[in-house]
Chain A
């Protein structure tokens, strides 16, 4: 329904020198059904803003169109009450700064943008954030160092916490160590005081409810209202929480697979975890005959950085070995300790620990590859090593061999789930590489592909206890952020603060299940028939569902298929004789649109035949827009989105990948219409590649000119 539109054109920042703003005001008044349309030399100044506010106060205007700088700038200045619809037209970075001033094509570009956004604004409605009862209680799954730290930090910030631990006691792996890695300067000695104090704090904190011997039976609901059913000992309870931190930690790599290193062939070949238990329980002895240990050989990277076992480095095993070398020498100062490594990795402050450990003349280190561990001799093990720094293949006899095995995350999977989510897309956090939950999110660790659920500690990435403490703090903060945003009806990363949410016109739904499948975050559950059930607090407002729906039943109050289609139709496409091609460019708001802004900052010029429409994610591209564009006479369409694949950058994980797939289908339609496939181009770009954008656009325009105009133009 038409709204009371106020169009305000800013002529500052050289916009006035580039386009005829008076002419723009005329276009706005004549064509855009505007209640008010005027220009001002500095809209962002006090006078400019005051003018707009007085129009609103007078009731003349309830929809504001600011035609000036990029919507990514001056957001704190151009902000109005939530009952006002606000749209921003980018006349500065995308018009004045990037095209020839006082030129006919530049003027046409500016006028088209005005028409597009006016058309969209008329279809928008003010946002009304949902107001549901949101729980701000947090759940932490896992009572090891990460879990306990997350719980304590959240409690210190005044949030209630439920801490769920599978074992009978808190502490996790770190609780069972003899000593832990140094946590304070000068970082040269292992520490004995563990974290018993923290465990006590967690047990007695009034804000933390600790459930031990507990397993999760199911997790229903959505952020702000997760209903988690927990069995703790004999009791079953259901708690309502707002966000969940998963800190389930790790388990050692299965050493029974390391027979080639002697494990299982001799009792004198043990793992680092077994050695730690021995040390924590008392004395370290040779398992075969309980005799004291005069020499020990540590094999680093046992089953790690190995294509047949774990591909990755667990980052903590080198430190563990150096620490355990200290245990050996504490017990027997004359014992010889050999360490055979692929590399010694002791990052950051741990380098000092390495140096201190190295100083002992009875610690012998060499790079090397262990060929075999033979227990055939009567006592101890003979280890053959090749590729050593000593230049030969060597053989060393040791009373005890310790395999430094790696860390495997305790992330659940579909058959063996920890969280047991009742989500249509599956009961667990999706996994990306090596069994770790997918938190490959660009710049956003702790995030997972399930909104409101954050991974922290060794389950997220192999790490030491000190790193897990930091990680836990970060995840706790993210969890708190998510419940606070949810309580205002706002989305989390990457569209933090977004108050729009999708609505579904279910009468026209054909149960094709594309939206429930394609939502990257599992926000949509299904009923028996396949009708989607939205859980709006899981939603990240990307619009991938909107792009997927062939019936176009999904829309937001300020973003819909119809709005974009209106924008396309509002563009004036010149007749074929005028020889002014028109190309539509869909750009994702995350990296591509900002890249074009930066090109504008740099005054990089490009062809003014393009019309840019920003999308929340390329995944929200509905292919009907391409059909609309071609039938409106557009000569070509470009898509700019973020990289997808294994090392994805797409901020909504799968969006640009889906857009590409859909584009393939459209290309088949083009074939049937006897249009060249090359009229459609899809490009993956990251923000640092802004320099390429003008070139890509210009090259495309050149190819379009060579292909000639769209034969359907003017029909």
Chain B
């Protein structure tokens, strides 16, 4: 802070932010109404005024290493209050997108997931994989009686495939995260992350920030909370069942009366209801939503919807439909997880770590 900082604006970065959600960035004239209005902004880490001028000056390094980007929960109150219509809330969203892209490994994935033109290719990959499994994988013994998904999509292919997907996603996250942490440290946020994780997670589980972060469009507390809990529940369930089937102690599909199954169904409903609530909320927002936003949210909604639909169709034993819908469901789960480190989904890691790093100690 004592040393003089040599400034060399990254003009391409400025233009990128403007083109991808921060269209009104240059209207900001630094009145700081946004920071004053933000309920989550603190004296120790105020935002988004500073991020606005740093974005205007193309200071990419400073911005991507700034935890404040992730302390924001996107309520849009700042955009509503801005007297110039500079939409700081949207700019923060665009900056988060730019940060995810910046830390993405491999970087071509980062570019692809953010680009609408790449969507067909991104969907084609899992579509081909699952089609191949359906057509060519040896099915094993098909029992008489009720049809099940494993008849077409054998578990001994699906489960390992998803573990590979999970591993790749984790690798992508790990590398992206290590870059992010290095950047955080370089930027001066040196809170002890591991120690900070406990209070951070407690905060997240209570969703206290969502309660405070309320814009004109109302709050997303309930929607996000339902979806979040449902997702965590399904994740836990999925892992248990996956491990169980691989170890041979469980057999899918579980009976509908099975407590695990009941729990899983409740979680699935929670995800569906929550994500639809968030979808409705986003469509009511005055803020501009970009492809980056819709891609994630629609993937979630459709995944939940196709999942529940698949189960219902299986219970109804609707032969042609159940496999088709399940196929779609598999493709969507694949994209959701494999592309997680490069899509908006990455917030789950970046935001958590940023909060932990910021909780650790207060800024200069």
Contact = CB atoms under 8 A, between A and B. Distances in A.
Interface of A: 334, 336, 344, 355, 358-367, 384, 389-397
A75 B5 CA distance: 72
Nearest to A336: B9
23 contacts: A334-B11, A336-B9, A344-B29, A359-B26, A359-B27, A361-B15, A361-B26, A363-B26, A364-B9, A366-B53, A366-B57, A367-B30, A390-B50, A390-B53, A390-B54, A394-B4, A394-B6, A395-B5, A395-B6, A395-B7, A396-B6, A396-B7, A397-B6
Contacts of B5: 390, 392-395
B56 to A, nearest CB: 7
Contacts of A334: 11
Given A394-B6, A395-B6, 15 more contacts: A336-B9, A336-B11, A344-B29, A355-B27, A359-B27, A361-B18, A364-B9, A366-B57, A389-B53, A390-B54, A390-B59, A392-B5, A393-B5, A394-B5, A397-B6
Contacts of B4: 384, 392-395
A341 to B, nearest CB: 11
9 nearest A-B residue pairs (beta carbon): A361-B14, A395-B4, A392-B5, A393-B4, A394-B7, A389-B53, A394-B5, A395-B6, A359-B26
A669 to B, nearest CB: 61
B1 interface: yes
Contacts of A359: 26-27
Main SS of the interface on chain A? mixed
A393 B2 CA distance: 8
A344 B50 CA distance: 18
Contacts of B26: 358-361, 363
A69 to B, nearest CB: 50
A336 B10 CA distance: 10
A84 to B, nearest CB: 62
Nearest to A364: B57
A392 B15 CA distance: 24
Interface in B1-43: 1, 3-9, 11, 14-15, 18, 26-27, 29-30
Nearest to A391: B50
Interface string B44-88: 000000100110111100000000000000000000000010000
Given A358-B26, A392-B1, A365 B56 contact: yes
Nearest to A386: B4
A108 to B, nearest CB: 63
Contacts of B30: 367, 389
Nearest to A382: B6
Contacts of A393: 3-5
A527 B15 CA distance: 76
A369 to B, nearest CB: 13
Contacts of B59: 390
A361 B53 contact: no
A688 to B, nearest CB: 32
Contact of A362 (B1, B3, B11, B84): B11
Nearest to B364: A391
A389 B29 CA distance: 11
A358 B27 contact: yes
A311 B25 CA distance: 34
B308 to A, nearest CB: 46
Contacts of B14: 361-362
Contacts of A344: 29
B285 to A, nearest CB: 24
A389 B46 CA distance: 13
A242 to B, nearest CB: 49
Nearest to B57: A364
Given A390-B54, A393-B4, A395-B5, A361 B29 contact: no
Contacts of B8: 397
B12 to A, nearest CB: 10
A397 B8 CA distance: 8
Contacts of B50: 389-391
Contacts of A390: 5, 7, 50, 53-54, 57, 59
A75 to B, nearest CB: 48
Contacts of A358: 26-27, 29
A392 B18 CA distance: 25
Contacts of A355: 27, 84
Contacts of A364: 9, 56-58
Contacts of A362: 11, 14
A120 B1 CA distance: 79
Contacts of B58: 364
A365 B7 CA distance: 13
Contacts of B54: 390
A354 B297 CA distance: 38
B46 to A, nearest CB: 10
A538 B227 CA distance: 86
Contacts of A391: 50
Contacts of B27: 355, 358-359
Contacts of B56: 364-365
A350 to B, nearest CB: 14
B264 to A, nearest CB: 49
A72 to B, nearest CB: 45
Nearest to B84: A355
A626 to B, nearest CB: 57
A344 to B, nearest CB: 7
Contacts of B18: 361
Interface string B262-288: 000000000000000000000000000
A362 B14 CA distance: 9
B2 to A, nearest CB: 8
B76 to A, nearest CB: 22
A552 B58 CA distance: 77
Interface in B105-141: none
Contacts of A363: 26
B359 to A, nearest CB: 22
Interface string B82-98: 00100000000000000
Contact of B11 (A361, A366, A384, A394): A361
A253 B103 CA distance: 51
A416 B332 CA distance: 85
A361 B14 CA distance: 7
Among B5, B18, B54, the most chain A Cβ lie within 10 Å of the Cβ of: B5
Contacts of A366: 53, 57
Contacts of B1: 392
Contacts of B57: 364, 366, 390
A395 B18 CA distance: 25
Nearest to A366: B53
Contacts of B7: 390, 394-396
A392 B29 CA distance: 18
A373 to B, nearest CB: 14
A235 to B, nearest CB: 55
A128 B58 CA distance: 77
A344 B3 CA distance: 27
Nearest to B53: A389
A715 B59 CA distance: 90
Nearest to A361: B14
A361 B8 CA distance: 14
Contacts of A396: 6-7
Contacts of A336: 9, 11
Contacts of B15: 361
A362 B15 CA distance: 9
A374 to B, nearest CB: 11
A394 B9 CA distance: 12
